[in-house]
Structure 1
Amino acid sequence: MGEKIGDVRPAKFTWAEIQEKIHTDKSVHTALPDGGFLSFDHRFPFLCLYRFAKGDRDESMVRLIRGQANYLLVPQEDMELPDVYRNLIGSISEVRKEAFDAFLLVEVWSQKTVDDAEPSFHLFAPRSMAQSTRQILEDGLKELSMSVPGSVVVTERGDIRHPAGKGPAFSIDEYKENSVLALGIQMPLFFGTVDTIRYPIPFRSFKSHFTRLVKKAIFEFIRVQTTISFAHFGVLGTSLLEERVREVDAQLAEINNTYDFLLAVTPVNTAEEWERFKQNNCSEPPVFRYRLLPADPEKMKRDLYDISIDRIDDPTLAFLLHDKRAEMDKEISMLEERNTQQFLYNSFRLYGKPDAELVNLAKAILDELRTGDEEEEPDRVSPEAFRRQGERYIQALRNQDGAFGCDIRIRKDLDGIMVSRGCLMISDTFYSPAHRVAPLLEHEIGTHSVTYYNGKKQPLELFYVGLAGYDEWQEGLAVFSEYMAGGLTRARLRLLAARVIAANHLAEGADFIENYGMLQAEHGFGERTAFNITTRIHRGGGLTKDAIYLRGFQKLLHYMQHHDEMEHLYVGKLAEKHIPYIEELLYRSILKKPEVLPLFLHQNKLKEKLAEIRSYQSITELATH
């Protein structure tokens, strides 16, 4: 079954109102009669065009050009373009040409052939003009053709830039006279039929790549042919948020907010089980209890897949939303499968297994740093004292934004410290080494609470809920902040490495007692530290999440070898794979720059510390003491 397309939205403006907006440099986003539609961002000198006859509207073409900021859908029954649309295109090109000295018109249509004909991507371009723009399109179409079996790419240079059976929007002489470059792209009739999209999953990827390709070609046209330049092709996307994007985002956030995954898989009786474990001479595994689930996982999944993400035109936002739904599906499955073998298998799907490179890095850290266990630290800070220092840190952040807030709570039902939905929670049994307080505050508040707060300021809830797979990059940033605060100790690095080794041991089939014994006998960890590491790894039935701290830190260090700027990494909760999308959305002014940044980014010796990062040979060199 194909994917059913949503109904056309009603018109908002009359033809006269549309013309007035165009001539007064205002953007227009409006439905037109008989299924037509205009999206016009006055900042850009281009327009994508698709013409269709009643009962013969290829929905794949509609969806493809809706990924652009400027597009026009034209219902056309006769040979010639209706005068009202011809005048509309003429007004847009005239106004934009005055600002840019040139205008680009890209018409797309689908191939009309018999069933046994060879599918083709056909690029229609001038004989000699705009060769660099044509080359970008030609190369990009060759890559796209790989997704359509048996298709070929043909470039035809001449006066034809429009589909067979329809006249040109304007004559070649009119194009030349008005400094308009017209290009035509014929696509195989592969993904689309009337009212449906066939093969919706591969079409998502196809649309994303096609949208990016057209933006790159437009960017090159503007760079070469006009008097104005843009910093990046990502700027050429629309700055408007579709209402359906907001609806889908809100629906996903509502489901996500019905559960707290990390709290749900964190035992509530760790302290009691530690005492029982000692009483049994460390020979019987603990029996952990967990919080009751606040909602029915089956209903959550039904609600999750009732959300219609495929109706979203913007491929960047559609990808982020699809990606998040897939992650939530895995999380909800894991909640339902706590304390079963299936929980562990889904943990592998969600967080992966430690690979050989990461395991070797962890082994190297433990071999090189043979000493260092925070159990031996005599100078410790009480939970209440930790809370007070946290409040001072928060007050310092309010110098950037007076509205910044972060609750700090001392609780009896968890072990250690954690941030959940921006709130710092401290176990009433957590006594931190004094020298670790500042780095931990950078980790927990400076990273987790700050990105939650900045995400709350974004127009989409997804950015505080967290994009799919954000945990690894978040923890990498958080460990990086510990280093920048001067508190990445030998003991801390050993702990991160031990988590990787324990996660790998779990993946190889080790049980709780075997993992606990291995950490003590082979790596010299104290009883309570070994118990805490093993508890985190085996909670819920087996959770490999803790391997992401070292893996994320390793990836962050590699990223900083090649980048100077970090501010955009704090716009919300994101993964490394999302950075190009985040940069695009910032260029498009959909996302806001972060309002609060961690304190280490304001330190006087920031450049010196970053230089140290770029010169290290071994990750163990970064340990402070």
Structure 2
Amino acid sequence: MLTLSEQECIALIKKGECFHAEVESGAFIIKIDEYSPVICAAIHNGHNLRSELEKSFLLSKEERFFEEDPYTDELISSFPIQLIGNDSRFEYDLNRAKTLSTYFKTAWDKQVWKKPLSSAQRAKSHKKHQAFYNVLEAIVGEVEHRFKNAIIFDIHSYNYKRIEKDTPTFNIGSGQIDVERWGKVVDQFEKQLNKIALPNIDVRAATDEVFQGRGYLISHVNAHFDNTLVLPTEVKKVFMDETSGEAYPLVLEELKAGFKNAVSETAAYFARRYGKRTSTQKADVLSSSISSDVLKIDKALFALCKNVETLNYINPVNIASERSRFLKNPNVNPNFTYKQLNINPYKFREHLYQLPVDEIMDADIQQLYRHVIDNLANKIDLLSTIGGENFLYNSLKYYGAPQASDVENAKFILHLNNSELEQHKAVHSADDAVEYFKQMAQQWGLVCRIEKSNKVVAKAMVNSEKSLLMVNKDAKFSQPELHAYAYHELGIHMLTTLIAKKLPLKIFALGLAGNTHSQEGLAIYSEYCSGSLTIGRLKTLALRVLAVQHMLDHNNFKKTYHMLVEEYGSSRESAFTLTTRVYRGGGFTKDHLYLKGFRDVLHFAKQNSLDNLLMGKAGLLDLNVISEIVERGMLPKPQSLFDLTYRSSGNPVLDFVIASIK
């Protein structure tokens, strides 16, 4: 952050420069990431007093906090143009005219100073007051010049516990707004504020119910500019203890995200009605560049977590010998061993939660990183307990368990006629598969390696770290399977791996929260789009759900194995493979997500584009944030290798089955 004088600051604005600075010895902060028709101000956020005034100041820290508006800077942190007061309103009040901005001796019926301020003391404060408004005029002038109109969100907070009647969470003051001209924007802002949801709090927005917006900032702007709307807004201090000043972080986090959406939607509405661009969307009023604070934290997170890959540790190292032993005597449970974890889980979690995510100013992007960090903490809990009694608990925490509807879907699919399964024989070897996959990779322009392996449980699996498709050396494939695996492993998993490696944000290579559900669902959906999804494949996914549920109910490898063979007619080899999938590590519940993920992705695809789900290891949970990042131009839109638009498969039986998955 720069330190600038008022004149230096104004000179940069007139040149159209972007900068972040403290002005007039830290009296206030100005941040311009990008010129936009939206200006956000938190003029009562500050708590500072000049040292010469501290000596004669009579109020306690708590009394100061009570009348100041702490944390209002966080409510506007997502926006490209910000003005934030650093000085306490008790030194000078930026929402009062200059001559009235310094409290001579008392404020709110309390004596503030031991003795009245001297003329010299008042003059110093008035100089900073004047500097703020000179800079504000420069910004508004530049924004009006560029965009024809400007909108200022003038954000404050208010104490409510001493007010007996019910009060709104958000109060817009229209007392100095030309309602005939701007009234629809006021209504739009109130509508958007009413959409905000806060934990354990009933949210309500209103206009002029508690405050009428009689402050000086709007008066000053109205006196100097004809094409700028100021929206004075008071936020009820539900995000903090209004007496002590202590913040409630969970409420504040949700409030920041909700406020970002309300302000940006209102600003876009304003720009469409009054600006030069009638097609303006909320992404257009936000910054289009990735901030340095995001890049710094992203780099540190990737350096810490880049080697934390579940499947590197979860697959048994002795699977070949245990398969041979078990198939000879399927009444003795196998004894799997695993690769040792080379990560100290305690230090890992410590370093993970020390990352300064609070420094990310954009509310939604900050939440995105918080989700990933929590997800990685759960993943290290999972990895550190492989082979132990707590592994199943951690697997349930990370992947969840099948719901009753998942089990019912699986049973429905498994009751279907088996005739289709007999039409496709597994005649292609692992060597055949490697050759076929190499041809498909070349056709799609995917630069990757494809090799046989004895280290995978599945028939094929992508190692993202090495951009490697590993084909199980003992696997056999039918022709539809080869086609399906090409679309599944190469067309989705390898593609998203390669996309993630090219992105400036490495969080998409690490994996967003819920990415397993979404990415596996997307991969199965790609099989559907390719025309290679069969009833037999759906039965395999259904068996995975039942195998996971059976493992949770019985926790006995051989019982689950015999259930698959005797009740569902699985071959001994495929039953062993599936049972191993769900018992590895001590109880691995991931496999129930494939069918559920397919259902959810398919339902989503009926109304939405799936392209942004290709942004590395993305998830439906944070897809709105990913889409916003793309719309803002911060990251390029991912390109699919084939059409992911939903359409009928052309097979009425398959379409009926899929439509019946609830």
TM-score, reference length from structure 2: 0.82
Q: How far does residue 541 in structure 1 lie from its aligned partner after superposition?
A: 0.9
* 1:322 to 1:374, Cα distance in 2 relative to 1, 3 A: farther
**Residues 553-592 of structure 1: pairs in structure 2 closer than 5 A:** 553-563=598-608, 565-592=609-636
1:22 maps onto 2:59 in alignment: no
Q: How far does residue 545 in structure 1 lie from its aligned partner after superposition?
A: 0.5
**Residues 3-22 of structure 1: pairs in structure 2 closer than 5 A:** 9-11=1-3, 15-16=6-7, 18-22=9-13
* 1:135 to 1:339, Cα distance in 2 relative to 1, 3 A: same
Aligned amino acid, residue 447 of structure 1: I
- Equivalent residue number for residue 5 of structure 1: none
73, 84, 93: which one pairs with 1:73?
Answer: 84
Identity of aligned residues (%): 25
93, 104, 114: which one pairs with 2:151?
Answer: 104
- Equivalent residue number for residue 205 of structure 1: 254
Aligned amino acid, residue 620 of structure 1: V
Q: Secondary structure at the match of 1:380?
A: coil
1:412 maps onto 2:454 in alignment: yes
- Equivalent residue number for residue 123 of structure 1: 172
Does the 8 A contact of 1:408 with 1:424 survive in 2? yes
Does the 8 A contact of 1:86 with 1:169 survive in 2? no
Q: 1:93-151 CA distances to partner (integer Å, 9 max, x unpaired)?
A: 22322343321111111225776777653211224442332123323444558658588
d(CA) in 1 for partners of 2:232 and 2:157?
Answer: 11
- Equivalent residue number for residue 41 of structure 2: 49
Q: 1:584-608 CA distances to partner (integer Å, 9 max, x unpaired)?
A: 10111112122x532x33xxxx87x
- Equivalent residue number for residue 156 of structure 1: 208
Does the 8 A contact of 2:327 with 2:572 survive in 1? no
**Residues 449-468 of structure 1: pairs in structure 2 closer than 5 A:** 449-468=494-513
Q: How far does residue 92 in structure 1 lie from its aligned partner after superposition?
A: 2.3
- Equivalent residue number for residue 136 of structure 1: 188
d(CA) in 2 for partners of 1:298 and 1:173?
Answer: 57
Greater radius of gyration (CA): 2
Q: How far does residue 437 in structure 1 lie from its aligned partner after superposition?
A: 1.8
- Equivalent residue number for residue 391 of structure 2: 343
d(CA) in 2 for partners of 1:442 and 1:265?
Answer: 25
- Equivalent residue number for residue 283 of structure 2: 234
d(CA) in 1 for partners of 2:532 and 2:240?
Answer: 57
Supply the RMSD in Å over aligned alpha carbons: 3.1
* 1:169 to 1:129, Cα distance in 2 relative to 1, 3 A: closer
- Equivalent residue number for residue 75 of structure 2: 64
* 1:117 to 1:189, Cα distance in 2 relative to 1, 3 A: farther
436, 439, 442: which one pairs with 1:392?
Answer: 439
Aligned amino acid, residue 577 of structure 1: L
Q: How far does residue 412 in structure 1 lie from its aligned partner after superposition?
A: 2.5
d(CA) in 1 for partners of 2:173 and 2:302?
Answer: 44
Does the 8 A contact of 1:59 with 1:197 survive in 2? no
d(CA) in 2 for partners of 1:230 and 1:39?
Answer: 26
1:289 maps onto 2:327 in alignment: no
- Equivalent residue number for residue 37 of structure 1: 29
Aligned amino acid, residue 156 of structure 1: D
Does the 8 A contact of 2:271 with 2:280 survive in 1? no
515, 519, 525: which one pairs with 1:480?
Answer: 525
Aligned amino acid, residue 155 of structure 1: T
Does the 8 A contact of 1:375 with 1:529 survive in 2? no
Does the 8 A contact of 2:424 with 2:480 survive in 1? no
Q: 1:57-83 CA distances to partner (integer Å, 9 max, x unpaired)?
A: 644111111122221113454344633
- Equivalent residue number for residue 252 of structure 1: 301
Aligned amino acid, residue 592 of structure 1: P
1:328 maps onto 2:372 in alignment: no
d(CA) in 2 for partners of 1:94 and 1:578?
Answer: 37
**Residues 219-230 of structure 1: pairs in structure 2 closer than 5 A:** 219-230=268-279
Q: Secondary structure at the match of 1:186?
A: strand
546, 555, 574: which one pairs with 1:501?
Answer: 546
Q: Which runs of 5+ in 1 are unaligned?
A: 1-8, 399-403
Q: Secondary structure at the match of 2:470?
A: strand
Q: 1:380-433 CA distances to partner (integer Å, 9 max, x unpaired)?
A: 123x332232222222232xxxxx522223322223321121321223223333
d(CA) in 2 for partners of 1:268 and 1:372?
Answer: 35
* 1:482 to 1:231, Cα distance in 2 relative to 1, 3 A: farther
* 1:452 to 1:197, Cα distance in 2 relative to 1, 3 A: farther
Q: Secondary structure at the match of 1:227?
A: coil
- Equivalent residue number for residue 350 of structure 2: 302
Q: How far does residue 162 in structure 1 lie from its aligned partner after superposition?
A: 5.5
* 1:369 to 1:551, Cα distance in 2 relative to 1, 3 A: farther
d(CA) in 1 for partners of 2:404 and 2:504?
Answer: 40
Q: Secondary structure at the match of 1:168?
A: helix
Q: How far does residue 492 in structure 1 lie from its aligned partner after superposition?
A: 1.5
d(CA) in 2 for partners of 1:489 and 1:146?
Answer: 44
Does the 8 A contact of 1:381 with 1:433 survive in 2? no
Does the 8 A contact of 2:564 with 2:570 survive in 1? yes
Aligned amino acid, residue 605 of structure 2: M
d(CA) in 2 for partners of 1:269 and 1:101?
Answer: 70
Q: Secondary structure at the match of 1:419?
A: strand
644, 647, 662: which one pairs with 1:610?
Answer: 647
Does the 8 A contact of 2:515 with 2:618 survive in 1? yes
- Equivalent residue number for residue 620 of structure 1: 657
Does the 8 A contact of 1:145 with 1:152 survive in 2? no
- Equivalent residue number for residue 237 of structure 2: 189
Does the 8 A contact of 1:560 with 1:614 survive in 2? no
* 1:170 to 1:376, Cα distance in 2 relative to 1, 3 A: closer
Q: 1:12-69 CA distances to partner (integer Å, 9 max, x unpaired)?
A: x665554344334443333434152222355421211111354366441111111222
1:179 maps onto 2:227 in alignment: yes
Aligned amino acid, residue 419 of structure 1: V
d(CA) in 1 for partners of 2:654 and 2:451?
Answer: 40
TM-score, reference length from structure 1: 0.87
**Residues 90-101 of structure 1: pairs in structure 2 closer than 5 A:** 90-101=137-148
Does the 8 A contact of 1:36 with 1:73 survive in 2? yes
Does the 8 A contact of 1:268 with 1:414 survive in 2? no
Q: 1:304-351 CA distances to partner (integer Å, 9 max, x unpaired)?
A: 122121232111111111101111111111112222342112222211
Does the 8 A contact of 2:288 with 2:634 survive in 1? yes
Does the 8 A contact of 1:235 with 1:584 survive in 2? no
Q: 1:513-555 CA distances to partner (integer Å, 9 max, x unpaired)?
A: 2211221222111111111111101111111111111111111
272, 277, 284: which one pairs with 2:321?
Answer: 272
- Equivalent residue number for residue 401 of structure 1: none
d(CA) in 1 for partners of 2:35 and 2:453?
Answer: 53
Aligned amino acid, residue 29 of structure 1: H
Q: 1:484-528 CA distances to partner (integer Å, 9 max, x unpaired)?
A: 223212321111110011112223334212211221222111111
How many residues align? The count is 595
Q: How far does residue 303 in structure 1 lie from its aligned partner after superposition?
A: 1.4
Does the 8 A contact of 1:488 with 1:622 survive in 2? no
Aligned amino acid, residue 44 of structure 1: S
- Equivalent residue number for residue 359 of structure 2: 311
d(CA) in 2 for partners of 1:263 and 1:531?
Answer: 20
